[in-house]
Structure 1
Amino acid sequence: MMARNTDMRWRLPLVCLLWELAMIILFGVFVRFNAESDIAGWEKAKQEKNITSDAENDFYFRYPSFQDVHVMIFVGFGFLMTFLQRYGFGAVAFNFLLAAFGIQWALLVQGWFHTFENGKILIGVESMIGADFCVGSVCIAFGAVLGKISPVQLLIMTLFQVTLFSVNEYILLDLLHVKDAGGSMTIHTFGAYFGLVVTAILYRPNLEQTKDKQGSVYHSDLFSMIGTLFLWMYWPSFNSAISDHGDAQHRAAINTYCSLAACVLTTVAFSSLLQKKGKLNMVHIQNATLAGGVAVGTAAEMMLTAYGSLIVGFICGIVSTIGFVYFTVRAPLFRKY
């Protein structure tokens, strides 16, 4: 037992330091600023495109959305995962760890697929948003393995998921030209299924012995609601962050805004309806209220109209709440994991 503890003590520091050194070397070899973040490149771009003001730099259009997405990844998902009564510190800290490593690896892998020119990866503010999107998928998968794997295993999972995410994203967006502004397919669906697959692979019968620790208590649900509120508020930025400037970005934010609002009322209604004595279930409120933002993500740029977005949120609230009731209470496959 002592030897095992000693191994654990050195394993995580060794992996973190070696992988960070690898990131430094790879960034030094491959990564460079793109035209809008490089001194000479921006001056050249202004001359070629007859740009008269620095305010036309893509940074000023994208950075506010990037900050919102960044808060979602590190605060929103981090606190959303604190629902387990015995895993609050681990949820926030390990989410922090995987996200910090994931954004570095994502900048490299996504760069090789999307912005690789003359042997170099060109990065800018949109690359940062893309990296956060990629890590968002890992954060979703993290929810499926929460409390079941070690930090080292989590880093290994992040390494593989970021790589596979980038391949999947390249196939869908670049080869098949799928429209997925908010990443409903590339981020949320991929992350959910990846997490379930990892959970199934790592499942051990003795995990049943800790089943009593998998529930929530009052304060853990309260902290989890902090994450829900951050995600809920910033989801319009998430779905519109990489949309085209102008009407598409404007429309994506409005559609998401309306869908999320409708989803909350529907979720509360059906949560009360499906519970004994009409008491709200915090699992539904923490998760199903966000389904409107997820579902409308793919079509966020489209002409859904405001009432169309409300309908999407209404349907998502119903389906998500009923789904949570079914999978957490009735479905033996998911109860097993």
Structure 2
Amino acid sequence: MAIYHTKMNPKLPVVALVLEVVMLILFGIFVRYDHDADAKDHHNNTKAQKNEFYFRYASFQDVHVMIFIGFGFLMTFLKRYSFSSVGFNFLIAAFGLQWAVLLQGWLHHFDSSTMKIHIGMEGMINADFCTAAVLISFGAVLGKTSPLQLLVMTVLEEVFFALNEHIAIGILQVNDAGGSMVIHLFGAYFGLAVSRVMFRDGLHGETHEKEGSVYHSDVFAMIGTIFLWMFWPSFNSAIAGHGDDQMRAAMNTYFSLAASLVATFAISSLTSREGKLDMVHIQNASLAGGVAVGTCADMMINPYGAIMIGFCSGIVSTLGFKYLAPLLESKLKVHDTCGVHNLHGMPGILGGLSGAIAAAFASEEVYGLSLYLTFPTLVPEDKNTPLFKRLHEWSDEIEPGKGRSPMVQGGFQALQVLISLVMAIGGGMITGFFLKHTWWGQASDVDCFEDSMYWEVPEAEGFTEVKTDGEHPLDTQDEL
């Protein structure tokens, strides 16, 4: 008989305080300002044309809004879980961005001469990106996990995320400006793997009365949707190169999102007997264009290419919510509370493959010599080759690359889709087995999707206070 240790005091305070003290110590040892923020750096320049702050801060703020408001409110659709949706999102994002700075810094920004990580605006954006993957995974296990489990999941997932990102960016050197592969695909399938390992028959299907929405909870969720929809061009362009790459990323995302929204409305109505719209589709599938265009956002796919990607992703995502999600739950025992497979998983695969095709067919005819700035791996390794000399005369930004052809680069892009899937599913299963023990404070089946398990909830119609004074067995829940 399962015993659910749902009382959070002292487990949550102890774990949270210990983790934050560890962050304090590690930041004290390793993390320092980069040259744009360090007052002692004699090369420091606060002029707009030199300091990274002026290039990146607006994008950083937009991404930050998406993380804390967009993702948080998108998950408030559950009728009795709004405190937890916004509050736990707040908690794991705040902790996650600190842990991400360290992990990504050790792998990508570590100065071996000083043994320090130098953090600037781009590092902060990347930390938010890492946190976004965890929040996507959070959507798959929403309502079924305790805050303690979520903190532990954040610690473990960000390790796997950083390793996968290092393979993509540091080893394979693929392009993934908006993170279709390393953020969305990874976060979705990691969360699905955790959910599969922690699957409980008592939460199967539509049997749980609390796993649903009411009118006002869906309206609140639409706030998250609209914030995400509006700011997604900043998300996909935040770390793209300055100038045309960044502008192209914003424009491609703009058109892809518009197309996915129209496609979502059309397919949602088409798949209903009476032609009525499903708010679940509108809240989620309308955003699929932002996910799917992420990998190739800064590539020369032209506006019509962005519209095609967005249109296809809207269709795929809506059909996934309508037909595939019930099959995954009934046949594979994957209970996906927020439908992250439909919004992030399948569009992430579509985005990764679209990026592979766009890279494989890139050419000087389309890009000019900027081809070698968008795809640095196409630059020859040998500085003495005629092509390298021509490129260096054109721009002093050119550095030796890998000498790949566009087709080879496209192959590496496609390979990263597979690697991200393997890393996500493998890491998620390991994490799920670790979190499965009831000591971590997860609620019993009957008390899932219920704020009052972990929050002091003001008295309101439809809410009853659930006591969590200690351990209680599953078969006595009705008495509590």
Please indicate the TM-score interval, normalised by the length of the shorter structure: over 0.9
1:205 alignment partner in structure 2:
201
Which of 66, 81, 84 aligns to 2:78? It is 84
Q: Distance in 2 between matches of 1:7 and 1:335?
A: 28
Question: What's the offset of the Cα at 1:315?
Answer: 1.0
Question: What code does the residue aligned with 1:95 have?
Answer: N
1:59 alignment partner in structure 2:
53
Question: What's the offset of the Cα at 1:316?
Answer: 1.1
Question: What's the offset of the Cα at 1:329?
Answer: 3.6
**Residue 34 of structure 2 is aligned to residue 34 of structure 1:** yes
Asked if the contact 1:329–1:335 (Cα under 8 Å) also holds between the matched residues in 2, the reply is no
2:344 alignment partner in structure 1:
none
Asked if the contact 2:196–2:334 (Cα under 8 Å) also holds between the matched residues in 1, the reply is no
Which of 227, 244, 253 aligns to 1:247? It is 244
1:75 alignment partner in structure 2:
69
TM-score (norm 1): 0.94
Question: What's the offset of the Cα at 1:40?
Answer: 2.2
Which of 229, 234, 243 aligns to 1:232? It is 229
Question: What's the offset of the Cα at 1:210?
Answer: 6.4
Closer/same/farther in 2, CA of residues 315 and 215 from structure 1, 3 Å limit = same
Asked if the contact 2:196–2:333 (Cα under 8 Å) also holds between the matched residues in 1, the reply is no
Asked if the contact 1:78–1:95 (Cα under 8 Å) also holds between the matched residues in 2, the reply is yes
Mark the structure with the bigger radius of gyration: 2
Q: Distance in 2 between matches of 1:289 and 1:148?
A: 26
Contiguous gaps of at least 5 residues in structure 1: 47-51
**Residue 136 of structure 2 is aligned to residue 140 of structure 1:** yes
1:49 alignment partner in structure 2:
none
Q: Distance in 2 between matches of 1:153 and 1:248?
A: 39
Question: What's the offset of the Cα at 1:280?
Answer: 0.4
Q: Which region of structure 1 is more displaced relative to structure 2, 309-318 or 164-173?
A: 309-318
**Residue 327 of structure 2 is aligned to residue 333 of structure 1:** no
- The structure in which a higher percent of residues are helix is 1
Q: Distance in 1 between matches of 2:221 and 2:125?
A: 24
Counterpart secondary structure, 2:117 = strand
- Give 1:1-337 correspondences, 5 Å limit: 7-41=7-41, 43-44=42-43, 53-117=47-111, 118-208=114-204, 211-331=208-328, 332-333=330-331, 337=335
Q: Percent identity?
A: 59
Q: Distance in 2 between matches of 1:7 and 1:312?
A: 47
Counterpart secondary structure, 2:225 = helix
Question: What's the offset of the Cα at 1:122?
Answer: 0.6
Question: What's the offset of the Cα at 1:91?
Answer: 0.4
Q: CA RMSD in A?
A: 1.8
Q: Distance in 2 between matches of 1:244 and 1:102?
A: 26
Closer/same/farther in 2, CA of residues 178 and 6 from structure 1, 3 Å limit = closer
Question: What code does the residue aligned with 2:281 have?
Answer: H
Asked if the contact 1:328–1:334 (Cα under 8 Å) also holds between the matched residues in 2, the reply is no
TM-score (norm 2): 0.66
Q: Distance in 1 between matches of 2:21 and 2:69?
A: 26
Q: Distance in 1 between matches of 2:207 and 2:88?
A: 20
Q: Distance in 2 between matches of 1:82 and 1:309?
A: 30
Question: What code does the residue aligned with 2:308 have?
Answer: I
Q: Distance in 2 between matches of 1:324 and 1:120?
A: 46
Question: What code does the residue aligned with 1:184 have?
Answer: S
Q: Distance in 2 between matches of 1:122 and 1:114?
A: 10
Contiguous gaps of at least 5 residues in structure 2: 336-480
Closer/same/farther in 2, CA of residues 286 and 31 from structure 1, 3 Å limit = same
Q: Distance in 2 between matches of 1:24 and 1:210?
A: 44
Question: What code does the residue aligned with 1:81 have?
Answer: M
Counterpart secondary structure, 1:38 = coil
Counterpart secondary structure, 1:122 = strand
